[in-house]
Amino acid sequence: MSRIHLALALLITLPAVAQTERHRLPVPGMDAPKPVPGAPTPKKPGGAKGITEPDDPEHPTPAARDFHDAKYRLSFHVPAGWNFERRDGVLSNFGVDVRTTKRTLDVRGVASINFNPYPVSTFSGATFYYSVMPNATAASCAAQAMTAPLKPQSDVRVGGLPFKHGRDENGHVCTESRDEVFTALQGRSCLRFDLVVNTFCSQTSGAMEISKDQLADVQGRLGKILDSLKVESK
């Protein structure tokens, strides 16, 4: 079982306070862990694609690939059906999606899902941001995930590194952006990962509000990318 999904059960039952211990990576919004990490929701009797189970393409493109950052000596896996760019502004707008971003952050990788697994819902996108703040300290790196409006969550360990974890949800009429922020100090560099899910308001669109299970599935896909992180020892 992936570290992502077991920790989710802990996240629901425990207070969201920072604690340094080796436990699974939390991805909120799901009641119970899935048997296969990041996989589409299992079929249910009488289920409908795009509602109770994801409507994924049979042969998603582009193909899955591994991203490697030689400068910071880390890699992670990008699944099939996700576009990837090494800079912001092509698939994404970091400054809009992430309201806690800093000018000192260098966006070095962006993965964005290129299909809608729940087309009748208010889901509008999922984006995985990898960025780095150079010349960081332990305090300045932790602040990236712990300072308001972020709400501190339990610390996690991924790729051999201890990560601070914060959560931000925002929107005007409804919740339009959910950002799970993870930061870890590696040498003098602060590694930051933002797992962003975007939705729009059902009140003005007529679409079905994204359900807890649908949201959990999307967040699980983002969590699986982070869970694949490997950091090379120096």
Q: Is the pLDDT of residue 205 over 80?
A: no
Q: What tens digit of pLDDT does each residue of 168-183 get?
A: 999 888 999 999 999 9
pLDDT for position 90: 87
Domain range for 132 = 3-34+64-231
CATH code at 109? 3.40.1000.10
State yes or no: pLDDT of 3 exceeds 90: no
CA atoms within 13 A on the CB side of 59: 0
Share of the chain above pLDDT 70, in %: 79
> Does any domain span residue 50?
no
pTM exceeding 0.85: no
CA distance 9 to 160: 22
Give the confidence band of 37 by pLDDT, cuts at 50, 70, 90.
very low
Would you say residue 47 lies in a domain? Answer: no
CB 107 within 8 A of CB 88: yes
* 176 occurs within a structural domain: yes
pLDDT for residue 50 = 87
Number of domains in the chain: 1
Mean pLDDT, rounded, for 116-125: 96
